[in-house]
Chains A and B, each alone.
Chain A
Amino acid sequence: MIMGKEKLIPLAAMVLILIGAGSSAYVYATQTNTDNITINGQQYTIDQIFHTAKLRTFDSLNFSGIALDDLIIKTGVGCLECHEYTIIGDDGYQKTVTWKNMQEGLLTKDSMTVFSDLPKAYRIKNVVKIEVI
């Protein structure tokens, strides 16, 4: 039996609403606590991070924070250029960058990454994890 448009389109709309609602519930349920940031398997508070790494400022972008490359060095990662770094936000948003990008990046006090050499899509809010891969 072929379904007519008058049945198929409302059904498709209902399915999409269910997908959207289901995804919203999943995102809400899996939202991560942002008090700590896990870097290469070790947990740090934002205050610890700011005491550990050196400061960096992007005057043209009007952002300041701690240097991401220095943070990685201080957390004891070896062979820095051999790895890539996946930065993950509390909403699951994640981006993978190279060591070269990390050298142009900072983490603000609000736990947001900013890279002077990458587009805004790489500004990950409420960072909860930096994975070394």
Chain B
Amino acid sequence: MEKMKLFAGIIVLGSLWGFAECIIGPTMGDAGLPSGILMTSVFAIGLMMISRMLFKQRGMQIGMGLVAGVLRFFNPFGGCVVCSAIAIATEGLLFELVWYKMSLDFSDLKTITMKLSMGIVTAYSCYVGGYIITQILTPIVASAGFYVENLILFMPQILARGLLAAIIGGITVPAIFVFKNINISNIKDQIYYPATAAISISCWVAVIANALFLMGS
């Protein structure tokens, strides 16, 4: 895989993830939907699975998490921005850890049981891990002090909320396999680079414009 192609892939998929976190997530939250759960189990897991499937490279998901985290940082609304940005990057790292021993050609995931199980394990780990990180960082960043007993007493609630994320993740991962036969190397450079650049720029412009609009209103 050409390094530039991979880099463009990280930027575009990370930007789409960040866009979803900044624009789609709050909209879903306003509509009364469990936005945190849907963000992780559908958007984050979905995009990281797509990247794994199309590019077949380890480490890419950490890069995507960092890009999405930085983009989240540009949208200074919805609570602790630094915490959300770090939680997003953490989800990328947790995804890498869960998938580290899995083959890059997905030969381990031949059966539906394996696909579904990996979806459950990935979504649960990413959601619960990201949630815990946020709960630890928010009081520290807010200078209110972190109290470990607050986290321990809330752990059953975090573990319970992970159940829905796990179930949705169990649907997302097998569903992403529709992209399995797409070969990114077959896409011509003249189309690939302008398309990834246009999508990435659109995501960043939309997030920054949204932030400026919210600041003005």
Contacts and interface: CB of A to CB of B under 8 A. Distances in A.
Do the two chains bind? yes
B216 interface: no
B173 to A, nearest CB: 11
A101 interface: yes
Q: Is the interface of B mostly helix, strand, loop or mixed?
A: helix
Contact of A95 (B80, B120, B141, B150): B150
B108 A5 contact: yes
B118 interface: yes
Contacts of A77: none
A23 interface: yes
Task: Give the interface residue-count category, chain B.
Answer: 35 or more
A92 B154 contact: yes
B19 interface: no
A119 interface: yes
Given A16-B120, A26-B156, A27-B156, A95 B139 contact: yes
Contacts of B167: 17
B160 to A, nearest CB: 4
Nearest to A9: B117
A86 B150 contact: yes
Looking at A6, A26, A84, A98, which has the most chain B CB atoms within 10 Å of its CB?
A6
Contacts of A93: 154, 157
Looking at A23, A91, A122, which has the most chain B CB atoms within 10 Å of its CB?
A23
Contacts of A19: 159, 162
A96 B160 contact: no
Interface in B54-109: 78-80, 83, 101-102, 108
20 contacts: A5-B101, A5-B114, A6-B108, A6-B111, A16-B124, A16-B125, A16-B162, A17-B163, A20-B124, A20-B160, A92-B154, A93-B154, A94-B150, A94-B153, A94-B154, A118-B142, A119-B80, A121-B79, A121-B135, A122-B144
The 3 closest A-B pairs by CB, nearest first: A20-B163, A120-B79, A13-B117
Given A19-B159, A121-B80, 5 more contacts: A91-B157, A92-B157, A93-B154, A96-B139, A96-B150
